[in-house]
Copies of this chain bind each other. A is one copy, B any other.
Amino acid sequence: MTPTAILETALYAADLDAAEAFYGGTLGLVRTMRAGNRHVFFRLEGAMLLVFNPRETERPPGPGGLPVPPHGAVGPGHVAFAATGEELDRWRARLEEAGVVIEADFRWPAPDGAPGPRSIYVRDPAGNSVEFAEPRLWGFAD
């Protein structure tokens, strides 16, 4: 037995309004839950992206609450979304149109001089490194 799927990926942001505008607005992810200044959650296919305010989640649960363990990281984290080569062109255009700076856009080395898989990197408003990449980067089908 080994885990086959990641159900929840977490990022941290102190400004959840800005995070929601980026992930729910610019990226178009479906927001499923917003709990005040504590968290905002987004639903993808079979997986969730959870954005937490570490100042809230680092506190242990209160009396009578569910025993959800505290957590909370500070500093730029990282996430990558899968995208096809054609989608990467559209992501670049959409991000630029939204005023998001393209921090990097390159192809990884590939054998025999073939065009390698492409990655585009931007920052979310909290400074997390957000990548859009072709799944073949890791040997997965696009």
Question: Is there contact, CB below 8 Å, between A70 and B76?
Answer: yes
Q: Quick one: copies of this chain in the complex?
A: 2
Cβ-defined partner of A73 (8 Å) among B9, B66, B76, B108: B76
Question: Is there contact, CB below 8 Å, between B90 and A1?
Answer: yes
Using C-beta atoms within 8 Å of the partner chain, give the interface range for chain A: 35 or more
Contact A76-B72, Cβ < 8 Å, known A1-B94, A3-B44, A7-B138: yes
Contact with B along A58-94 (1 / 0, CB 8 A): 1000000011111111111111111100010011001
Chain B residue nearest to A76 in the complex (CB): B71
Question: Is there contact, CB below 8 Å, between B6 and A80?
Answer: yes
Q: Which residues of B contact A7 (CB under 8 A)?
A: 80-82, 131, 133, 135, 137-138, 140
7 contacts between A and B (CB under 8 A): A2-B28, A3-B27, A3-B81, A7-B133, A10-B78, A73-B77, A75-B75
